Structure 1
Amino acid sequence: MMYNWMERLSDDAEVPTPRRVQPCLSVAFEYVEAENEFNFYIRNVTNYPMTPTLHKTESRAVMHLVKGISRKTSVMGWARTITWQDIKEKDPFTYQTLNVVRASTTIYNEFFTCKVTPREFKNTLLRIQICDIDEYDQNVVVAEMDYWINTHIISQFTQFELPFPPFTPDIGEIELHMTYLPTSQRLIVHYSTVTNLKLDEACKEIYVHGVLFVGGRQFERHQSETKKRAENACTDDGMHFTHKLIFDLDRKYVPKAEVLIHVMQVVDEKKLVVGQVTLSMLHSGQCKEMLKALRTTISRVHRLTPSAG
């Protein structure tokens, strides 16, 4: 009997939608006024924002402690947005944990201390970042939060469970044009367009890289042509890649398949990820529409998310 995956996908009610749970940071703070010491303990992150990667990825927490920064609100009462320029102007103290294995619950268990006078206490910000580590030992921020250290009474060590928003910087978009051919059992990315990319100043070349996963295992890799960097890569006009990415995908494996798309830049002979998109055959709106309209090219624009590669 033939596996009827098309019939299963034709009923939206039968397609489960993954539940997205916000990451949570477990941390403890203490302020010893007599000794002018602010102490903090980074315990772990639960519901770590796991993104597919092509190599074993570790994680570390990075903390920037900024003294004497203004926290005035706007005329409308909105909280002030603290930019990186604001932080750099205050010469922050930066701390980081050791590298640990990235997991759904990622455990750091590290203690830090810093001198903070009572006068500075009300205007000291702690920016906490959770980072994946790429193959060049660079930090890729996946979650970030700001904490004013006088938010709670912390005269003695007190543990908190704090919501930890995923980091969603504006690093660009990619438009993908995809088709599934059931007879030849092939998934085809016909061409792609990248727009508004946030590139390194030393970027020389750009290309698109695709990987097919089935049941969490890598099956195939393909990449587009490589193009010299052009100014329109950072605008709405974008850059077009016409080389097809063709994946052999047996119809019985379709429900277990997902495609990882990386936009890559070449910087000083290093191949760095600008951002990524992950498309699950069961959960992606583009893929579900593609599987209902076989042999028809379905196009969608996707926002790129940070990736360690």
Structure 2
Amino acid sequence: MMYNWMERLSDDAEVPTPRRVQPSLSVAFEYVEAENEFNFYIRNVTNYPMTPTLHKTESRAVMHLVKGISRKTSVMGWARTITWQDIKEKDPFTYQTLNVVRASTTIYNEFFTCKVSPREFKNTLLRIQICDIDEHDQNVVVAEMDYWINTHIISQFTQFELPFPPFTPDLGEIELHMTYLPVSERLIVHYSTVTNLKLDEKCKEIFVRGVLFVGGRQFERHQSETKKRSENACTDDGMHFTQKLLFDLDRKYVPKAEVLLHVIQVVEDRDLIVGQVSISMLHSEQGQQMLKALRTTISRVHRLIPSAG
């Protein structure tokens, strides 16, 4: 009987299986040795990481050009990891594109130039970041890569398509307990636990916000109780939120439903997103398990990813 219910549910709407395709950055580089000029053109990003958002999100590309940075490898031959501390010590040049609307293919179409001497050429790094822009006009990095400008021969403008992995900083985790009740047609998210959060030093309070989207449109928004900051939130012990998030979800809309969870910190009376997780009812492991075991609570720990809201 459970299987038949799931079978009918799947037939109610055509839901394409999402493709997991690595984002790609389209750029062009040129080095004019006679002029000591390094020129670069940021064209676009394809297969851009997309999740539902609460407001229209804009994007910009930010580039940090770092001269004279060491490329030494380890004794084992591993490539050196360049930290932000390494970059700041070299006083980088920073460039950014104009704001554009975020889309699966986000187009920037901007040209930049910088003086780089032949002596500096082999030890110059270009860190390229794709950023969503939050409601406070702050950059939220969603994809990042490092490019040594002497990697390819670029005596004349040459275009490249470079793999551009999503940015996955360690922001913390959230454990979610989810249940779907088919008779009352209600989705319940309850007893959420956040662990190992990376919080601002001025963070005062923390809460969890849940938003139900159906077919990409926002239907309901709820939030947990607000708790005073505790050191447990930054450890494996975690901070627990007991208030249930109750969403009315008609079974015929389940195939198109997605729940967006934000972990939010309050800093100087501003609500800042620490990170998010998005749960598709049909395409996520937790959603699939929940719909196969109706009325049963399914729990999963999710790693938080960057979010501009």
TM class, shorter-length: over 0.9
Inter-partner Cα distance in structure 1 for 2:171 and 2:9: 32
Task: Kindly state the Cα deviation for residue 32 of structure 1 after the two structures are TM-superposed.
Answer: 0.8
The TM-score normalised by the length of structure 2 is 0.96
Contact 1:176–1:300 (Cα < 8 Å) also in 2: yes
Secondary structure of 1:51's aligned partner: coil
Structure 1, gaps ≥5 residues long: none
Residue 77 of structure 2: aligned partner: 77
Question: Does the residue aligned with 2:3 lie in a helix, a strand or coil?
Answer: coil
Unaligned runs of 5+ in 2: none
What is the SS of the residue equivalent to 1:120? helix
8 Å CA contact retained: 1:15, 1:283: no
Deviations 1:1-48 (A, max 9, x none): 999652356999998642111111111111111111111110111111
* Alpha carbons 1:198, 1:234 under 8 Å: kept: yes
Provide the identity percentage: 92
TM-superposed deviation, 1:262: 0.5
Q: Can you list the C-alpha shifts for 1:268-287, whole angstroms capped at 9, x where unaligned?
A: 11111111110011111111
- Secondary structure of the residue aligned to 1:3 is helix
Cα distance 1:5–1:44, how it changes in 2: closer, same or farther (>3 A)? farther
TM-score by length of 1: 0.96
Alpha carbon RMSD of aligned pairs, Å? 2.4
* Structure 2 counterpart SS, 1:13: coil
Q: 1:121–1:2: structure 2 CA closer, same or farther, 3 Å change rule?
A: closer
CA contact under 8 A between 2:9 and 2:252: conserved in structure 1?
Answer: no
Kindly tell me the number of residue pairs found equivalent between the two proteins: 309
Alpha-carbon distance in 2 for matches of 1:167, 1:217: 26
User: Residue 5 of structure 1 contacts residue 255 of structure 1 at CA under 8 Å; is this kept in 2?
Assistant: no
Asked whether the 8 Å contact 2:224–2:243 carries over to 1, the reply is yes
CA distance in 2, matches of 1:55, 1:12: 29
Question: Counterparts of 1:69 and 1:8 in 2: how far apart (Å)?
Answer: 60
Q: 1:131·1:140 contact (CA, 8 Å) conserved in 2?
A: yes
Aligned to 1:63: 63
Provide closer, same or farther for how the CA distance between residues 233 and 2 of structure 1 changes in structure 2, counting only shifts above 3 A.
closer
1:141-186 residue CA offsets vs partner (Å, 9 max, x unmatched): 1100000000011111111111111101110000001111111111
* CA distance in 1 between partners of 2:44 and 2:15 (Å): 32
Tell me by how many angstroms 1:51 deviates: 2.1
Is the CA contact (8 Å cut-off) linking 1:30 and 1:157 kept in structure 2? Answer: yes
Q: Partner of 2:236 in structure 1? A: 236
Q: 1:8, 1:72 → 2: CA distance?
A: 59
Q: Which residue of 2 aligns with 1:48?
A: 48
Name which of structure 1's ranges 8-17 and 271-280 shifts more when overlaid on structure 2: 8-17
